[in-house]
Amino acid sequence: MTASRHAAAHLAQLNVSTLRHPLDDPRMAPFVEMLEPLNAVADGTPGFVWRLVGDGESDATGLRPAGEHVIVNLSVWETRQALWDFTYRSGHLDLLRRRREFFEKNVEAHLVLWWVPAGHLPTVAEALERLAELRVNGPSPRAFTFTSSYTCAEALQATYAVADET
């Protein structure tokens, strides 16, 4: 884990994808072959903090908390820019371009971002709650996307505003 000791918050992200075929299907082989190298790129990207992996595994593809055919990717980054750079300025972009080969088309939000205190590692349950919140209520400082992003300060301000109302 590489974490900034001075940051008050980090950006958590969850994305879920419904597999077109089981991971052991030959049609999924190119995706499976990309996993280890892409995870290594993520792990080495400046600003990377943590990613979810299954017990004794190198990734989280064996975990199915969102359904039998749904894989989850949960990670934490020092900044929004660090996550953006990995997502759109690394080899990960090649996977995004090929996603229709491996995953069903999303009909609802499949990615959610939210701020967490530095040092906090979100649980899958927490992440799925944020995704559900985004799906029901749309973007907010508690659950947003790259295109409807909120700063850490905005998220904190919204939290304090809610606390003041109670």
Contacts of 4 (CB under 8 A, 6+ apart): 78, 118
E strands, the chain, in order: 9-18, 48-51, 70-77, 111-117
d(CA 76, CA 47): 9
73 by DSSP, 3-state: which?
strand
Evaluate whether 23 touches 16 at the Cβ level (below 8 Å). Answer: no
pLDDT of residue 158: 76
- The pLDDT tens digits for 36-66 are 999 999 999 999 999 999 999 999 999 999 9
Distance between first and last Cα of the chain: 37
Residue 149 vs residues 37, 131, 157, 161: alpha-carbon distances, Å: 28, 14, 14, 18
pTM: 0.89
pLDDT of residue 3: 41
36 by DSSP, 3-state: which?
helix
pLDDT of residue 166: 53
Residues of the chain with pLDDT under 70: 1-7, 159-166
d(CA 138, CA 45): 30
pLDDT of residue 155: 87
pLDDT of residue 94: 87
pLDDT of residue 6: 44
pLDDT of residue 156: 81
Evaluate whether 42 touches 105 at the Cβ level (below 8 Å). Answer: no
Beta bridge partners of 112: 14
pLDDT of residue 2: 40
pLDDT of residue 76: 98
Evaluate whether 136 touches 54 at the Cβ level (below 8 Å). Answer: no
pLDDT of residue 161: 60
